[in-house]
Each structure stands twice: as structure tokens, then as C-alpha cells.
Homo-oligomer: A and B are copies of this chain.
Amino acid sequence: MATNPTSNLIGFLCDTPMVGSGYFGMLQIGLMAACHKWETALVVKSFDLSDPALADRIRALLARIPLRGVILPEPICEIPAVLDAVAEAGLPVVRIAPRSDTGMTLDICVDNEAAAYDITRYLIELGHKQIAFIKGPPDHSDAIARLAGFTRAMGEAGLAADAAKMVTGGFDFAQGLSAGERLLTMDSLPTAVFACNDEVAAAVLATAHRLGFKIPEDFSLAGFDDSPLARQVWPQITTCRQKMELTGYMAVDFVIDPPTAAEARRRPQLHELVIRQSTAKPRD
């Protein structure tokens, strides 16, 4: 199948659990804004990534619907059979936050390692030494990179990234509740907690409220993403903005008006620290 340069439809193919998340919502704001600019519409379709027929389902979709190009977020953008299916269709592919460079796609990258490093540095500069980290899903590239950034900042500052204070969590609220419960019932409380995303940070905050801890008086708390949730709780959560709206906007731009130079095919998306009320100097 050839490309469809006249199609007004851009495909957004993702995993089913992503639908309804705050991350997806933020991305869609940017996707919709760029679709408005280019007078295109977005075809959204979610898939069960463990389905053995996944690649065939995508082939069938691409055969039925003339798309201008396809946007693939993490983690579907890492599946070789999916990339092959889209490549066979001859469509431009834009990947959001992929782990590795295939040389075949246009990529928008968030440097999760650097962003997590920056948050950790900020906590260290406030004076924190006992910093706990709540890890994301062990096989998720963003989670792995955030852990690496945390570990590097701790190591550079000569602080032990204490294994007992590196709690396995996940990316969702329920996992955050159980990780928060484990952390906050330990014998020695950390002076700061860095959660792998804002949902998990909000769960730690809810647990702290329930157990009678005050934030930031008893410990500081930081998240990651700058999702709406980080602003919809009290105290509001210090976090790292990934500019997901802008990422969505750029992804559509890349499909419609792809950059030609090789170095432009992989565009890093800047992050920025968003300092709110949940972090402060440690007591004493």
C-alpha cells in the first residue's frame, strides 16, 4: 500500500490501559489542537498488546482506513511487529518517547533520565539526604530511565541510594497506595519521597493524610509528569513537566510536515521542574 498524502486522517494507535489516563488526556489536547490547524482528524484505536493477532489487527486497520500517517506512543511503539506492520503500509510513523532509535521513524523523546536527575538534584540541594524513590513498572523504559536519573544524582552527591528506600510501585494510583503504605510505616522515615509519576505521588499524599503526616513538614514529596492531578490535591505536588500537550502537537506536525534532515528526525522534548508546596528543606 502506498502513502496517502491526501488523507485527512491521522492514526493514533495505543495500548488499552492508556485510554482514560491523565497522560493520554494531556497528549490529546495537543493532538486535537494540531489536527485543527491542519484540518485533519484523529483516528484513535486501542489494542491489547498481549494479543497474538496484534500485528494482523493493525494491518487490517491500515488496509481499511486510508491514513496520512501513524502516531505510536510508548509502549506500543517498541513492538517490532507493530512497526513492521506500519512500515509495510508505507506510512510515516511518529513515535512518542521511544526507548531506542530505529532510524526508520520520526521520534519525539523525553529525556526521563535527565528529568529525574534534575528533580533529585533539587531535593539534594534543599538539604535532603534520606530520599526514597518509588519505582515504576520494571519493564517500562520511562520508569527505568527515571530510576537511572535518581541513582546518578544520588551517586554524584555521595549519597547512598538505599535499596530499602527504593520501593517498587507502578504507574497507577492503587500501586502508589501500597508503596506509600510500605514507605510510611518503615522504622525510619525518609525526609523526601520521589515518586515515579504524579498519580503515585498523589497516592503517597493520600496515605500521608490518612496516617496523619504533614507534607512538606514531615517529609517532602515530588512526582513526575505535571498531570492535572498534581495541581488538584493539597498541597500541590512538585513535579517535572513533560509538556505532553506540546508533544501531541508536534507529533501531528511531524506526520503532516516531516523534517527531512536526519538529525531532525529525533527531536528531544524539553522538560522543566515545577516547584510547588509539597517540597521544602528538611527539618533540623
Interface residues of A (CB under 8 A from B): 8-9, 11, 16, 19-22, 24-26, 28-29, 32-33, 35-36, 39, 41-48, 60-61, 64-65, 173, 199, 202-203, 205-207, 209-210, 228-229, 231-235
Contacts and interface: CB of A to CB of B under 8 A. Distances in A.
B41 A41 contact: no
Given A232-B206, A234-B205, A28 B20 contact: yes
A19 B35 CA distance: 13
Given A25-B25, A41-B61, A44-B42, A210 B234 contact: yes
27 contacts: A8-B65, A9-B9, A9-B43, A11-B41, A19-B25, A20-B26, A20-B28, A20-B29, A20-B228, A22-B25, A24-B25, A35-B46, A36-B48, A41-B61, A41-B65, A42-B43, A44-B44, A199-B232, A202-B232, A203-B232, A206-B232, A207-B234, A209-B209, A209-B234, A209-B235, A210-B235, A233-B233
Contacts of A44: 28, 32, 41-44
A29 B25 contact: no
A134 to B, nearest CB: 15
A32 B32 CA distance: 17
Contacts of A229: 229, 232
Contact of A45 (B16, B26, B42, B64): B42
B9 A65 contact: yes
Nearest to A202: B232
Nearest to A47: B36
A183 to B, nearest CB: 16
A25 B20 contact: yes
Given A206-B232, A209-B209, 17 more contacts: A16-B32, A19-B25, A20-B25, A20-B26, A20-B28, A24-B25, A28-B44, A35-B45, A36-B46, A41-B43, A42-B43, A43-B44, A173-B228, A202-B232, A202-B233, A203-B232, A229-B232
A9 B61 CA distance: 10
A16 B30 CA distance: 11
A29 B121 CA distance: 38
Contacts of A9: 9, 43, 65
B234 A206 contact: yes
A203 B234 CA distance: 9
Nearest to A27: B20
A57 to B, nearest CB: 8
A232 B173 contact: yes
B173 A231 contact: yes
A46 B61 contact: no
A65 B11 CA distance: 13
Nearest to A8: B64
Contacts of A39: 60
